Amino acid sequence: MHGVGMVVMVDKMPFRDATSSFGFTYSPRLNFLENGNTSLSVGLPLSAALGGSYNVHYGSYYEEEGNIRYSFNAPVIVNFNYGKGATRNADKRLGFFVGGGYAYYYSGQTEFYSDDESAEFNYHRGSGTTGPVGNAGMRIGVGRRTHNIEIKFSYMKGLGDFRPDVYTFATLFNF
């Protein structure tokens, strides 16, 4: 089974404010241990997102600053599925899932600054981390057969250098 959709990723690190980015997700999964309206599955919901900000100040001086953020998330998750989307033959109109696994997360940011005194700089930083991840969500049947809309939330605790809390909210169309 496969799904595509939109994602919002929010990461919060101990030394800075939370940042958010908006992007796309592709979620292939393989069901095993299917039984009627239930199954266990292993999935790899890949997500890539962008975000940024821009500020300019005009007054007694001129100042311009901004940043462009990008992030990538690649978890491997084992889910328990019930109802719609659990199997190709599930006869329920609604379904849910819950699961956990391990993920890789990378976040990068390019910052720029300039002012009226010719001060100018560009700075890039980025870091990747791995950690445990958990997710939960629901599926709503649309049309005939296996098509459904999935709404999910996941949380990852980074164990690497910058130890981010990564929250992911996604809506997908599964086919």
Domains belonging to the chain, first-starting first, are: 3-51+71-109+131-174 (2.40.160.20)
The pLDDT tens digits of the residues spanning 129-145 come to 999 999 999 999 998 77
CB within 8 Å of 144: residues ≥ 6 apart = none
Evaluate if residue 58 carries a pLDDT over 80.
no
Confidence (pLDDT) at 136: 99
Kindly indicate the confidence band of residue 112, based on its pLDDT and cuts at 50, 70 and 90: confident
CB atoms within 10 A of CB 105: 25
Evaluate if residue 123 carries a pLDDT over 90.
no
Confidence (pLDDT) at 74: 98
Q: How far apart are CA 166 and CA 104, in angstroms?
A: 11
